[in-house]
Every structure is written in structure tokens, then in C-alpha cells.
Structure 1
Amino acid sequence: MNTEQQVQQFREAFGALQQEVHKVIVGHREIVELTLTAVFAGGHVLLEGVPGLGKTLLVRTLGEVLDLSFNRIQFTPDLMPADILGTNIVMETSAGRREFQFQRGPIFAHLILADEINRATPKTQSAMLEAMQEKSVTAGGEIRRLEEPFFVLATQNPIDQEGTYPLPEAQLDRFFFKILVGYPAAAELSEVLNRTTTGAESRVEKVLRREQLLAFQKLVRQVPVASHVQDYAVRLVLATHPKTAGAHPLANQYLRFGSSPRGAQTLLLAAKVRALAGGRFNVSFADIKAVALPALRHRLILNFEAEAEGITTDHILTKMLEEVPDMAPAAA
């Protein structure tokens, strides 16, 4: 199969997944597209929004349209690491002997919905770190690999303060995208009511098998990036680093720390997926810019001045996208 055929297959699969998801999800087209982008790139997603906007429904629908194993974990303050990872329990064998056997926790699935992840204690949140980064679980002194592909799609509510534990920066950095889920428009809300209060049922079909998804993930890595496009991604990330040669003025004024190298990796991988979904086997400047906000917004750490003035990372990144030139200035 030649490259053109592979790109066409990718585009058709991406479009088919979008179509199936939108049988259930009304509106949120950009959110659905970004979530699927992360899935094809092999990354984790943090969905942030107030209750009732369809965050959990979106992830559950993805679990239905992808032919993958799916588990939901409802995070609460009393949730323990063993409730996620699993634990050794004493079992009696047929010979009458007692021995420890490992009982797998819900983390052993392809697609994990971590619902209201910021309600769990830091001890429990840290149990997710190894699984998200290393795709393995250590329990009872033994390392157990998680089966590929493995995704964590987490949700959190930004307005609750009581009984919540903000995610540490180290764990936020492990999320490929942070996607903000907003309110639906009037027409979309009307359609939601039509679908949910009249007895109508929306059924979705399996679209993509595990083997196909793994093959598409490999194809994403093969998409070429021109040196000047990659240079733009590098300069954009370095612009977020305060007190450095390439820092943007807003970074010097409002940021304590800029994006990690994972931010640059996310920019390129997400841009490659976007290019393939558009039927192209090359990455453009527009692809980088289209994914910059969800890729970088959770990787910038604001200083006190920004907090006091109500400046957000989205505001800073939007200015950077406007002012960082596509092509590096020629040397004098």
C-alpha cells in the first residue's frame, strides 16, 4: 500500500469516528476533533469544564466506537491506589495451599475514563503517573506492562474547591492536551433537549479495531516535518521561557516557568495527526497553530502578577501565536 492510500485510509477512519461520536455528542466539534487527535497520537487528555457539559458522555462514547476495552474510575477522596492498580490477595489452591494472587485493577484496560480526577488525594493521583508515562504498573514488587494502546481521558470541574486536590504540575505535564469544555449554543442546547427528553435513542457502531489504531499511530510518526516548520514549533515553545534569549515579553512579565520539552513533542505529533486528517502527508504552520492552545496551556506556570490581574495562559499563548513569526529572522 502506497503512502497516498494510507493517508486516505487515515482520513476516512478519522472522519468515520467523528461521525459516530456526533450521533451522541451535540456540537463540541473542535473538542471531539482534538480528543481524537490525541487518541491517534497516543496521548492522554484532560477535559475541564463545569458539570453537565457532556465530558463523561464524550469519553464513554469513544469507548463505544473504538473496539477497545474500556473502564471508568470515579475518583473520590477515599479512593486508594490499590483501587486503581489492583492488589495481591490470598487465594486457596486446589491442593489446599494458600498463595498470593494479583487481582488486576481497572487501570488494566485500553481506554480509561478518570472521572473527576482532582477529587482524589495526591497519593492516589500519583498512582496514575507511572501508568500514564511508562504504561506499566508496579505492584507487589513486580512490573506489569499495560497493553497498547493505552489512554487516560480525565475530567475535572474547575469551580469546585472543597474536597478537591489540584493536579501537580508533573502530572499535568503528562497530559497530551488540556481541553476546555464550554457551554453549548442555543441551537445545540435545543438539540440536546430533543435527543434526551423525547425517548429517542442514539446508537453508535464500532469503527476502529485495535490493530488498525496501532497501525495509524505508527503512520503518524512517519509524517515528515520540514525543518522551518519544526523550527517554528521550537521558537514558539522557547518563547514561553521567561528570562531567556527567545522569551516573549509577556512570558517575562507573567510567567514563572515555560513549557517543558513535552510541549514541543505534543505540537509536532498533534500537527501530524491534523495533517493526515486533512489528507496531507506534511505538516504546515497552520497545523502547529491549530493545536498550540490545548498542547501548551497546562504547561505554563503563571506568576503572582498574572494571577492578580486575571491573566490566563490562553491569553499569553494567543498573543505569542500572533507575534512569533513563522520564519526565523535572517541573521544580520
Structure 2
Amino acid sequence: MTMTPEQASWFSGVFDRLVGNIDRVLLGKTHVIRLALTALFSEGHLLLEDFPGTGKTSLARAIAESVRGTTNRVQFTPDLLPGDITGVNIYDQRSGAFEFHRGPVFANIVLADEINRASPKTQSALLEVMEEQQVTVDGVRHSVGAPFMVIATQNPIEQAGTYRLPEAQLDRFLMKASIGYPDHEATLRILEGSERRAHEVVVPEVISAATVVEMATMARGVHVDPTINDYVSRLVEASRTADEIRLGVSVRGALALLRAAKTMAAASGRYYVTPDDVKALAEPVLAHRLVLDPEAEFEGVSASSLIGQLLIETPPPSDRAAV
């Protein structure tokens, strides 16, 4: 069902209230909070590549508390097994049957901390649940429910004992972002409240988990003009033919960009997507899906700069897409 102007206005109001609520914990990072909530309402997942101590755990917990959801944190280590994430069947001697014990992936917000420290086999345990919101153990499927979002982190500095995330897994993250260190003003506010530890700060509930599902459904109904679809298609096609790029954006990446653009439009109080929505999300949604040519990497070319170049070379629709 197509979103109405009244629904767009309500969506924007709730979205802004959530941003303000989470900002009590993650001070001075409004842009990252908006990206994280965009991923949540787009039914996607977020990869945070950042330094330790920048508030990644606080962000996940604040989102879960704001939507009255559950949250679990998994510290990925080299000895972590797939069953430690998804859960295992344990034989119950009293009943004489196997009983499924749920793993930490059964939560609304799952923080996969330092995901690149686990082996590829363990990382792959998240592939099914990130795509289908279910896990299969011994041939039996178990739904994790909705809403469901994985916020994974990796340290860009310390690479000893880590495994590079495979392209198939990177492609399942709706977007990749970085929190970064707070500015001077935000740091002062954090220091002024140093008598309370981060886990002691409780943010009030803004909406229920059921409302998150409802809003995600509403976001799907944001109007997309055919010229916007054409613009997204031309962008991803350009990524596949660029000389510096060995592997371009997949169809899943194009769909992810369109889903996120719909949510951003609704969060801005609009019931239609504009080219500016696509441009604003192109870098966080598409950059991590690119595989660069080794020579380009050696010369210092980054995926983010290539996305910027593609946006310059790919002209947007001349007219604003509206109903």
C-alpha cells in the first residue's frame, strides 16, 4: 500500500523522537544514529568499522531500549563455534528427546562484536539468519522473530588474528558506517557525566517492537518513480564497468539502496523518493560491496572515493520524482 502524506509526517515525527532518545547515550553522533535507524526500518543490518571505545555497544543497547526490544552481545573469538551463535540441540534424559537451546542470535538487536576475529565457518552461521530471519539446526528451522537486526563491528587497526569478511557476507549488510570519536563539545558533555557508567544510562521506551515492524511495512510503500529506478540501475551498472573495480554492486546491493532510500524519504516526511535520497545513501550502502582492483588499491584508491566519482559521472533524473 502506498504511503500517504499523513503517514509520512507521522513516520518522520517518530523517527526524530528515536534519534533524540538515542542521542542521550551516543552524544554528537546524529548522522550515525539516523543511518542505524534507517537500516532498522529498512529491515537491514549494519556493519560498523571503528576503533574500540567509540560507543558501538551503547548504540545497539540504546536502539533496543528505545523500541522495547531484546538485545544480545556476542564477542567473536577464534574458538567460537557456529552453535555458540545459533543454538544447539541438547538431549534431555528426562524426556528422552532433544531440546533446542537458543543461541544469542535470538534477539531483536544482535551486536556481533569484532566479527572478523571468528573463523569463516562461524561467520557463515550468520548468513542464513541475516537473509531469512531464521536458523536451521539439524534440519529444523527456527524463526528469530521481528524486528531483527545485526550490528556487527570490526577494528580497522588491529588485524592480527583476524579473518577478512567474505564478499557474500559483506553483501548482506545493508550499510557500513563509522561512529568515530566525538567532537570537543560532545567529549565535554561525556566527561561531565562521568559519574555514571555507560551501561547505567537507561533510555526510555519510545515505541514498541511491533510498531517497528509496522513502520518498516509503511516504508516499503514509499513511492518510487521509474526515473529513480533507472538512476539506481545506472549507478550499479557503472560500478561493474569501472576500470578500478574488479567486482561491482550486486542486484542485492541495488535493492538495498532503494529500500534505504525509501526509509530516508519517510524519515524526512516525504512519501516519495528523490535523487538526493539515493545520493546521500550511496556511499554507506554501496562502498563496502565493491572489490577493488589490486593496482587501484596499491595506488590508494578507496571504495568511498569511487562511489563519489560514480555519482559525479552518473547524471540523476532531471525532474523531481513525485506523485
The normalised TM-score by structure 1 is 0.91
Q: Which residue of 2 aligns with 1:174?
A: 172
**Shift, 1:180, TM fit:** 2.2
Q: Which residue of 2 aligns with 1:114?
A: 112
User: Number of matched residues?
Assistant: 315
Q: Spell out the pairing of 1:129-278 with structure 2 (5 A cutoff).
A: 129-197=127-195, 202-242=201-241, 251-252=242-243, 254-278=244-268
**Shift, 1:118, TM fit:** 0.8
Task: Please give the per-residue CA displacement for 1:79-127, whole angstroms capped at 9, x wherever unaligned.
Answer: 111111111112132xxx5321111111111211111111111110011
Q: Which residue of 2 aligns with 1:69?
A: 70
Q: 1:148 to 1:198 in 2, by over 3 A?
A: closer
Q: Structure 1 CA distance, aligned partners of 2:232 and 2:99?
A: 48
Q: Structure 1 CA distance, aligned partners of 2:144 and 2:261?
A: 27
**Shift, 1:197, TM fit:** 4.8
Answer with 1 or 2: which has the greater Rg: 1
Identity rate, percent:
45
Are the counterparts in 2 of residues 68 and 210 from structure 1 also a CA contact under 8 Å? yes
Q: Structure 1 CA distance, aligned partners of 2:112 and 2:84?
A: 13
Does residue 291 of the first structure (1) align with residue 290 of the second (2)? Answer: no
Q: 1:320 to 1:199 in 2, by over 3 A?
A: closer
What amino acid is aligned across from residue 5 of structure 2 in structure 1?
A: E
**Shift, 1:195, TM fit:** 2.3
RMSD: 1.7
Are the counterparts in 2 of residues 275 and 287 from structure 1 also a CA contact under 8 Å? yes
Q: Structure 1 CA distance, aligned partners of 2:202 and 2:173?
A: 30
Q: Which moved more, 1:261-270 or 1:17-26?
A: 261-270
Task: Please give the per-residue CA displacement for 1:34-85, whole angstroms capped at 9, x wherever unaligned.
Answer: 0000001100000111111112211121121111121111111111111111
Q: Structure 2 CA distance, aligned partners of 1:25 and 1:35?
A: 12
Are the counterparts in 2 of residues 23 and 203 from structure 1 also a CA contact under 8 Å? no
Q: Which residue of 1 aligns with 2:46?
A: 45
Q: Structure 2 CA distance, aligned partners of 1:327 and 1:291?
A: 16
Are the counterparts in 1 of residues 46 and 175 from structure 2 also a CA contact under 8 Å? yes
What amino acid is aligned across from residue 191 of structure 1 in structure 2?
A: R
**Shift, 1:183, TM fit:** 2.5
What amino acid is aligned across from residue 220 of structure 1 in structure 2?
A: A
Are the counterparts in 1 of residues 275 and 317 from structure 2 also a CA contact under 8 Å? no
Q: Which residue of 1 aligns with 2:57?
A: 56
**Shift, 1:5, TM fit:** 2.6
Task: Please give the per-residue CA displacement for 1:124-143, whole angstroms capped at 9, x wherever unaligned.
Answer: 00111111112111112211
Q: Structure 2 CA distance, aligned partners of 1:118 and 1:295?
A: 19
Does residue 315 of the first structure (1) align with residue 316 of the second (2)? Answer: no
What amino acid is aligned across from residue 172 of structure 2 in structure 1?
A: R
Q: Structure 1 CA distance, aligned partners of 2:79 and 2:197?
A: 36
Q: 1:199 to 1:160 in 2, by over 3 A?
A: closer
Are the counterparts in 2 of residues 45 and 153 from structure 1 also a CA contact under 8 Å? yes
2:124 aligned counterpart, secondary structure: helix
Q: Structure 1 CA distance, aligned partners of 2:82 and 2:201?
A: 36
**Shift, 1:184, TM fit:** 2.2
**Shift, 1:319, TM fit:** 1.4
Q: Structure 1 CA distance, aligned partners of 2:211 and 2:183?
A: 35
Are the counterparts in 1 of residues 72 and 110 from structure 2 also a CA contact under 8 Å? yes
Q: Spell out the pairing of 1:73-92 with structure 2 (5 A cutoff).
A: 73-92=74-93
Are the counterparts in 2 of residues 44 and 132 from structure 1 also a CA contact under 8 Å? yes
What amino acid is aligned across from residue 86 of structure 1 in structure 2?
A: G
1:178 aligned counterpart, secondary structure: strand
Q: Structure 2 CA distance, aligned partners of 1:83 and 1:199?
A: 29
Q: Which residue of 2 aligns with 1:245?
A: none
**Shift, 1:323, TM fit:** 2.4
Task: Please give the per-residue CA displacement for 1:188-214, whole angstroms capped at 9, x wherever unaligned.
Answer: 222222222577974310111122111
Are the counterparts in 2 of residues 56 and 155 from structure 1 also a CA contact under 8 Å? no
What amino acid is aligned across from residue 136 of structure 1 in structure 2?
A: Q
Q: Structure 1 CA distance, aligned partners of 2:272 and 2:301?
A: 35
Higher relative contact order (CA 8 A, sep 6+): 2
